[in-house]
Amino acid sequence: MSPGRTGPVVVVGDVLLDLDVEGSADRLCPDSTAPVVDVDEEYARPGGAGLTATLLAGRREVVLVAPLADDRDGRHLARLLARRDNLRLIPLPWSGSTPVKQRIRVGGHTVARLDRGGSTGTIGDIDTRVRDAIATAAGVVVSDYGRGATRDARLRALLEDSARRAVLVWDPHPRGGEPVPGVTLATPNRSEALAATRTCHLTETTASQMAAALTRRWRAEAVAVTDGDRGAVLSFGDGTALLVPAQAVPGTDVCGAGDAFAAAAAHALAEGAPASDAVREAVVASGRFVAAGGAAAIGRHDPRSRSSAQEVLHVADGRDLDPVADLVASVRARGGTVVAAGGCFDLLHAGHVATLSAARRLGDCLIVCMNSDGSARRLKGPGRPVVRAADRRAVLASLECVDAVVIFDEDDPVAVLRRIRPDIWVKGGDYAGRRLPEAGVLAEWGGETVVVPRLEGRSTTSLVRAVQDGTDEPDILTKGA
């Protein structure tokens, strides 16, 4: 992994105003077979490039460069974006109207969508703020929704220059402009890739074939074709492809999953990760995004207290526990039991897996509270953790027994436990016969602490020592804490 770049990530693209009307329907119109929807609540959120920027803003500073009409919906959208922490908007004058997508939802499912606005237009002056932002960015994400931003010759020239010196992720659209040469990673979904290959008069139809052909066509460093719950296929255009499977997750609202994928990939690349690792992280992030309720979950909460939905389970700064709260509420609504377990989980080994598997069998969901890199270093000492938090989280999230991962930055999980309020808190067998440190906290709401049997002879400390000593003696793994 190369060193990460400093500075903000710049998101360039088309913004939309997304509205969700949530209600119930238990009768039909007297004059037709159409359902009558009784409205319970209405939510508004930024869509398109605005969603991508929102998803990134919980991770680092973000600058959003987007055409924005001076109409009622455009002003509403600007106010929503202004409330987001770590997000700065540089609006481009737009002669068209603001596109609005309104979904009518019943029981968590969309029953109708009403579109308005979005008339074609042209971009006005592009001032020095835009040029300076793109020129100094740690990375750039192009979020193309086919509304005209990526066809502007001036923006394309700035983006082409950016591709020569910084990370550039391009999320294309069939009605938008082709990615500029030299992009670090293009992220079309399967239907977008198929449309692009047909436009280019190519005959490839499998995800790997399309990814390779588009890598060469667009002169991109890599192309990842996303394919919903199948994951993604990554190609560098050299005849080989990397399949990154997705973990099955609950959730039916996939709106915004592509934006979550692009945002996560861009952040990882800007942090210095290679494209293969960035795509793996993006697959996990988009799956978690869908599991947390998708784009619909964003508008349900005050945006001033919620700055990210991409890293939905990362709370090193105390934020973004809303999706975990939704999971807890869902389990409890069914009369289920919420289980939590904690630790550093550095160099995940069989002992960790045995503990987590046993914990999951105690209830109906398992939330893992994981120490951040700083917290683990203070607890374990210099040189630890061996594996960074993002990778530890990804490995844990891939386990079938784990339903959610929360990262905390404090020296202990007390603050996170008070927010989650699990029914059962699980520790490994090395705590047998000892009072668990968190027992008093669990007692505050009637929770209980449980010790599960330990798989003897497994520890990260021993694994690290064995590697450092260059020994392969089996009994080395039975020593150490």
List b or e across 85-103, with b for residues whose CB sees 16 or more CB atoms inside 10 angstroms: bbbbbbbbebebbbbbbbb
Q: Give the residue carrying structure tokens 């270093």.
A: 377
The helix-helix angle for 190-199 and 207-218 (nearest 10°) equals 50
Can you spell out the DSSP letters for 14-38?
A: -EEEEEEEEEEEEEE-TTSSPEEEE
- Asked about 259 being catalytic, the answer comes back as yes
List b or e across 286-320, with b for residues whose CB sees 16 or more CB atoms inside 10 angstroms: bbbbbbbbbbbbbbebebeebbbbbbbbbbbeeeb
Pair of tokens at residue 297? 């979950």
Pair of tokens at residue 477? 């793994």
For residue 453, the 8-state DSSP code is P
- Strand (E) or helix (H) holding 367: strand 365-371
Q: Are 235 and 241 in contact (CB under 8 A)?
A: yes
d(CA 211, CA 234): 7
Catalytic option among 18, 20, 73, 259: 259
Q: Are 454 and 481 in contact (CB under 8 A)?
A: no
Q: Are 168 and 205 in contact (CB under 8 A)?
A: no
Cβ neighbours of residue 464 closer than 8 Å, sequence gap 6 or more: 347, 383, 384, 386
Instruction: Kindly report whether the peptide bond that precedes residue 385 is cis, defined as omega within 30 degrees of 0.
Output: yes
Order of strands across the sheet with 100-106? 35-48, 15-28, 100-106, 109-116
Find residue 395's DSSP bridge partners. none
What is the pairing mode between strands 109-116 and 424-427?
A: unpaired
d(CA 253, CA 369): 26
Count the residues in the chain: 481
| Nearest CA among 415, 418, 423, 413 for reference residue 342 | 413
- Strand (E) or helix (H) holding 55: helix 49-57
Give the active site residues. Answer: 259
